Amino acid sequence: MQRICRSGMLAGVAALAIGAASMCTAAADETIAQAASANAVSGASVRHANAVVFAIDTGRNSITLLEDNGKPVDVIVDPSLGNVARLQLGDTVAVTFSKALLLRADKSNSNGIRERVDKGFTSGVPLGSSLSLYRVEEVATVVQVDPDKHELTVRGPTRTMTLQATSESLIDGLKPGDSVKVDYVEATAVQITRNGMPLR
């Protein structure tokens, strides 16, 4: 898993959301981009955690973290933040990351067939320098919908994950068991340290 981002603040996370959403060209996608920016600035899409490294994917420079609640979360680490090969399973890291950000969710007539398409792309000027990010289109099955938290949990071809919706309208009408095509930006670290030291 290949993903870490830059030392961060909410402005950086907002830029991630804007950069991701700007990949869309339709008017509806522009509305999503505005909602994503507002949501990120509010801090709703940002998490701070002390977590244990559960899995490492050096090919994508990403890690799977096991949080205090026992739930695993995959986080991309941008190479500018460090090389995940320096970590070991069981290491405890302090990480600030943007949640997996849902940009679109449409019901699908896939007959239950789940699939995933990764689209690597690079953010532009808003962050002051480019960052490698991952945007994903995936056909998945809805597991849970939480309108109050604006969260959608889906089971995809490889794992179950929770996506932070940029607005409640994105998940309106969805229910467990629905087959959906989701478009999202994967969870990305904006800061990560081990033993109080930045990962390099």
Question: Which residues are registered as beta bridge partners of 86?
Answer: none
Pairing of strands 101-107, 160-165: parallel
What global pTM score does this model have? 0.67
Task: Pick out the chain residues at pLDDT < 70.
Answer: 1-44, 110-133
Domains of the chain: 10-198 (2.40.50.320)
So what's the pLDDT on residue 90? 94
So what's the pLDDT on residue 172? 92
Sign of CA dihedral 152, 156, 98, 166: negative
So what's the pLDDT on residue 119? 56
Q: What is the mean pLDDT of the chain?
A: 73
